[in-house]
A and B are shown apart, each in its own frame.
Chain A
Amino acid sequence: MARPKARNKECKSRSTGADASEQAPTLAELQARFQDALMGDDERVLDLIAENARERTEVLLGVYRNAYVVRLIDFLKNDYPKLAELTGDEQFIKLARSYIAAHPSRTPNARWFGAKFPEHLATSDLAREHPVLAELARFEKALNDAFDAPDAPCVGLEHLAAIAPENWPELTFAPHPSVELLRLETNAVAIWQALEADETPPAPERLAEPQQLLVYRQALTAHFRALGAEEAMMWREAVRGVAFGVLCEMVATFGGEADAPMRAGTYLKGWLEAGLLAGTAAPSATNTD
């Protein structure tokens, strides 16, 4: 059976190469060296690569080195498309390369490679100068996470109708796993919306008041909506397990006594309609069962 032509070249390469006397590496040594070449500028693996009739081995190794970085940049671009649009290719690649060097992938799934990109961005000089960048990344990550978060049944308004009035003060709420509340200090969302609509984004700016934003999944698509400070406060407390009776008191303290239970009830109704809750519990009811 014909041997690969490369083998003939190999013999030549090994008899004339600098490492001709080198013992054949173990598979583990070869892989360590190959990986070093891809992740850094250590090129010792070239000693192990057979000569090629058409192309220099440096160029062929370069196919892998290039593909490694390009693929990871693509993963990030795929997860953070608006950030890439806002920064432009050159800056994005710079940020991506810095992330790739600091956080090599340790996951079998490309989906999770970019999970720490927003945090990493926040530490970069560019993002310190332009805080909108890290916030835009956080927002895009929240959308991605909502999209494929665990499935759970959503409870609707009819569910609440079945709860006896005397159990309402004790009622606690479990958020749907797709929901995340973000607090953003810049106009990152306005920029995202403009880019999504193919419009020129507004200039980045720090907001007078932080923007509170619920990101969640509805009908298999990631959605978001802005919340007032009071509703955001109530959501935060509700997902910590605070019961409805206490939530009403907190709302009263936050925004005034008058109509406080009505306001709390309105927020709750909105959450149920948007599918933000996966369950409720009324301890006194279950205790007596």
Chain B
Amino acid sequence: MNTTVEKPPFLGFGLGLRTPHYNDLLDPDNEDAAAIDWFEVISENYLVPGGKPLQVLDQIAGRWPVVMHGVSLSIASTAPLDYDYLDALKRLAARIEPKWVSDHLCWTGVHGVNLHDLLPIPYTEEALEHIAARVIEVQDYLGHRIALENVSTYVTFAHSEMSEWEFLSELARRADCWVLLDVNNVYVSSFNHGWDAKTFIDGVPHDRVVQFHVAGHSDMDTHIIDTHDHPVIDEVWELYDYALRRCGPVSTLIERDDHIPPLAELRSELDTARRIAAPVLQAAE
């Protein structure tokens, strides 16, 4: 079953599309905008009837490669898949033709409720079977592979039977899906649960990693919370370097969800990523 599949293209260095940057991005002469290779859009932000969000999105997708990143797939939930949501995703994908569609390896609610959070799962064979079947169902419906992202977690479950990276690897193999490796989340979870971040990165299937997320977080001393509201710290850049050396050139995204700084500041973070990635990109040429 483990056929070699061709990865989607390497897109370079991108940013999450955020409303405070709309004006800069729509200005054809803006130099910071010109320095961004691609955009990741939060799918739900554009699952609206009409108006400015979709109008801006059309323009962005007309100029840059885009990928869709969702937060509500709830792939690990025991609630039935939400086909209204999948249908809306599929229509948005048909409209903007993303290079890939991603969401998180987590659940967001059961019994009809959406808790709007990326909730942890037990790493058990039962969960693996359940989630793999759902990924296959979603991919069949959407007509292409999806990418699943490792989330930051603050708790683990006592009856887990394997490590997170073993779980993620086996899921990707069984469901034949891509991996979105969030380097910051690896860092956060490794700190919170006391395992080695590099072991995680060593353990995921490198040929399935289509995207990296690099972000900042909030250090609470005894635990770290994945807030995406700070600049990237040196330790996460080091881990990014390590992941690149393991996976080869992978489309890289700087993720910032809160305290969104001016475009120029994020561009300089992208330039840091470019500097770190340069040797790996050269070696791959």
Using a CB–CB cutoff of 8 Å, the interface residues on chain A facing chain B are: 1-7, 10, 13-14, 24-28, 30-32, 34-35, 38-39, 48-50, 52-55, 57, 59-61, 63-64, 67-68, 71-72, 75, 104-111, 113, 146-152, 177-178, 217, 220-221
Contact = CB atoms under 8 A, between A and B. Distances in A.
B184 interface: no
B158 A14 contact: yes
B117 A39 contact: no
Nearest to B130: A27
B163 A1 contact: yes
Nearest to A71: B116
Given A109-B47, A148-B48, A177-B49, A49 B113 contact: no
Interface in B101-123: 107, 109-117, 119, 121-122
B50 A110 contact: no
B47 A32 contact: no
10 smallest A-B Cβ distances: which pairs? Answer: A151-B50, A108-B72, A24-B159, A148-B48, A150-B49, A5-B194, A148-B51, A28-B78, A220-B52, A55-B222
Interface in B95-150: 107, 109-117, 119, 121-122, 124, 126-127, 130
A152 to B, nearest CB: 8
Interface string B185-229: 000000011111001000100000000000000000011010000
Contacts of A57: 155
Nearest to A63: B154
7 contacts: A2-B163, A2-B199, A10-B160, A14-B158, A52-B193, A53-B194, A63-B154
B119 A64 contact: yes
A149 B265 CA distance: 33
Contacts of B194: 4-6, 52-54
B251 interface: no
Contacts of A104: 113
A149 B52 CA distance: 9
Nearest to B163: A4
B117 A68 contact: yes
B44 interface: yes
Contacts of A61: 154-155
A50 B158 contact: yes
Given A27-B126, A52-B192, A106 B154 contact: no
Contacts of A105: 109, 113-116
Contacts of B157: 30, 48-50
B55 interface: yes
A85 to B, nearest CB: 19
A5 B115 contact: no
Interface string B63-99: 0000000001010111000100100000000000000
B166 interface: yes
B195 A4 contact: yes
Contacts of A52: 155-156, 192-194, 223
B53 interface: yes
Contacts of A151: 49-51, 54
A50 B49 contact: no
B77 A24 contact: no
Contacts of A5: 193-195
A46 to B, nearest CB: 9
A147 B52 contact: yes
A147 B51 contact: yes
Given A30-B157, A149-B50, A220-B51, A106 B113 contact: yes
A3 to B, nearest CB: 6
Nearest to B110: A31
A63 B222 CA distance: 12
Contact of B114 (A2, A64, A106, A152): A106
Contacts of A32: 110-111
